[in-house]
Amino acid sequence: MNKVIKNKPSIEAKIEMSQFYISEGKDIVESFCSNLEANDGNCLILDTIDNLHDVLLKEVKGRSFVDLSETIKSQQGFGINKPCHPKALAHIQVLIIPGKIGVAENGAVWVDDEVMQHIRVLPFIVERTVFILNKSQIVPTMHHAYQTLGKVKTGFGTFIAGPSKTGDIEQNLVIGAHGALSHLVILVSPRGYEVRQLL
């Protein structure tokens, strides 16, 4: 007990955010991608926004999809114009969705009610999620992400870092138990893709 008391930090102790910046010579985008891939997700960096439409069409591959980024114009996806029951979305296979914040330390992407159009089940009911994230919106750590989120008012929101996984079933790793089977983040140039800024 004395050891716990002795090593308990003072309530005034303050952790400098600079301690949490990415190290080991990696830049923030490289760290994001490597940590996402460690979570069984995939990362694609586009040098030019001109390729985005074609890349998304390849991701869809004729499957049923919802494009909340409104990038695919030449092919009709499932339109969401008003709140609907989750059962109406059961046939959707691919979700294309803008991300608001990326976190380099774990490859997570933040999405909220605004980008999900208040249909919270969408990222969890589909087989494949495709996030579009501006590279300028990647922060080093969760500390930085929460610092940013603390400045805004939002309803529901969640961090998603890779496909759904659980080890609770007889200690076997199961992919897709609670959400998507596969997960892709497309990183685009800060100047090439305009998304609604979080702040």
CATH number for the domain spanning 55: value is 3.40.50.10420
Any domain includes 134 = yes
Chain segment 38-59, per-residue pLDDT in tens: 999 999 999 878 889 889 989 9
Any domain includes 1 = no
Give the residue numbers spanning the domain of 131. Answer: 39-79+100-191
Chain segment 101-113, per-residue pLDDT in tens: 999 999 999 999 8
Any domain includes 143 = yes
Any domain includes 178 = yes
Q: Convert the chain into a string of H (helix), E (strand) and C (coil).
A: CHHHHHHCCCCCCCCCHHHHCCCCCCCHHHHHHHHHHHCCCEEEECCCHHHHHHHHHHHHCCCCEEECCCCCCCCCCCCCCCCCCHHHHCCCCEEEEECCEEECCCCEEEEEHHHHCCCCCHHHHCCEEEEEEEHHHEECCHHHHHHHHCCCCCCCEEEECCCCEECCCCCCCEECCCCCCEEEEEEECCCCCCCCCCC
Please, what is the average pLDDT of the chain? 82
Any domain includes 180 = yes
pTM value? 0.80
Per-residue pLDDT at 195: 46
Any domain includes 61 = yes
Any domain includes 25 = no
- pLDDT over 80 at 36, yes or no: yes
- Tally of domains in the chain: 1
